[in-house]
Structure 1
Amino acid sequence: MDHLLHLDRTLDELDPPRWGAPDADATGSIRTVHGMRHIPLGDLSPADLRMLVSQQVALPYVLPLAVRLLVEDPLLDAYFYEGDLLLASVRAPSSAWSLMPDLHARLRAVITALPETAIAELPRGAAEDLARFVTQPEAHGPGRSGTR
């Protein structure tokens, strides 16, 4: 399913069950993520996507949006630093990527095209995270075999 077709819908609509209101003692981050579930996908900012990916919320819906941005600007500064959305994305669990092998391949191609100088300027540990993502065995969607 192409999750980008649902840009006018919210995560609460697309990713059941709907979340209730956060607890009264919830952290600011939890309140923020709860609020993002009510925003149409097409209105989520790069910073929102970074937060949702980092918190592993509705990854089948937010990773395609993140990759769409990263194809255009791999080192996008979503909120904290240059490349923060990219690093959040490659740190998403491999189980999420296995549901979207074509998306995984697109992001892998983006990463392998990055100049070494750009990777060297990312925070400590980033080069290892990127290398781990690139060298992951090719992801295959449900019901797909490893043969071509």
Structure 2
Amino acid sequence: MDRLLHLGRTLDELDPPRWATPGSDATRLVRRVHELRRVPLGELGPEDLRTLISQQVALSHVLPLAVRLLLDEPMLDACFYAGDLLLAAVNVPASAWDVFPDLRTRLRTVIVALPDVAVAILPRGAAEELTRFVARPESLH
């Protein structure tokens, strides 16, 4: 979690190159992601992290922040429903977790400990997504 040392810096600073201002025809989501790249990491909230993770933006910087929240509250409602940040995190490409084997292990432990009632309130297919994440083999560097 050494990336937490950079909480005062933005993704535009930490994940170059800086992104240009989106065009006038950009969608609301595109504009939002561009805005979030200019927010200091320490000011990103759960909804912001869910958005960035779902769009696979600067995962090496935002995944540790999300996991930090998920270890305390795995069913955190980041915008849409309880557990949406967790599902965003487990659905990133497996390679994004390769640099964070310890965080992946800790998140797996949290997922395995989730009560059935918590998993049952997730959207259809979510239990399978969690199972896939837990069963995913460690990287073979």
- Scaled to the shorter chain, the TM-score interval is over 0.9
Alignment of 1:60-71 (within 5 A): 60-71=60-71
Residue in 2 that maps onto 1:104: 104
Q: Is the 8 A contact 1:100 1:139 kept in 2?
A: no
Q: CA deviation at 1:27?
A: 0.2
Cα deviation for residue 23 of structure 1 reads 1.4
CA contact (8 A) 1:11 1:38 kept: yes
Paired residue type of 2:42: G
What residue in structure 1 maps to residue 57 of structure 2? Answer: 57
Aligned residues: 141
Identity %: 65
Partner of 1:4 in structure 2? 4
1:1-148 superposed matches below 5 A: 2-139=2-139
TM normalised by structure 1 equals 0.92
Q: Which amino acid aligns with 1:35?
A: E
1:139 positional shift:
3.5
Runs of 4+ in structure 1 over 2 Å off: none
Alignment TM-score, normalising by the size of structure 2: 0.97
1:26 match: secondary structure: coil
Q: Report the alpha carbon displacement of residue 131 of structure 1 after superposing the two structures with TM.
A: 0.1
Q: Which amino acid is the alignment partner of residue 68 of structure 1?
A: R
- The aligned amino acid for 2:55 is Q
Query: Which one-letter code corresponds to 1:91 in the other structure?
Result: N
* Counterparts of 1:43 and 1:89, CA distance in 2: 19
CA distance in 1, matches of 2:116, 2:97: 24
> C-alpha offsets along residues 75-130 of structure 1, whole Å, 9 cap, x if unaligned?
00000000000000000110101121111111111101101121111100100000
Q: RMSD value over aligned CA atoms?
A: 1.1
Unmatched tracts of structure 2, length 5 or more: none
String of CA shifts for 1:50-73, please: whole Å, max 9, x gaps.
000000000000000000000010
Q: Deviations over 1:16-59 (max 9, x none)?
A: 11101001110000000000000000000100000000000000
- AA partner of residue 34 (structure 1): H
Please say if residues 104 and 139 of structure 1, whose CA atoms lie closer than 8 Å, have aligned partners that are also in contact.
no
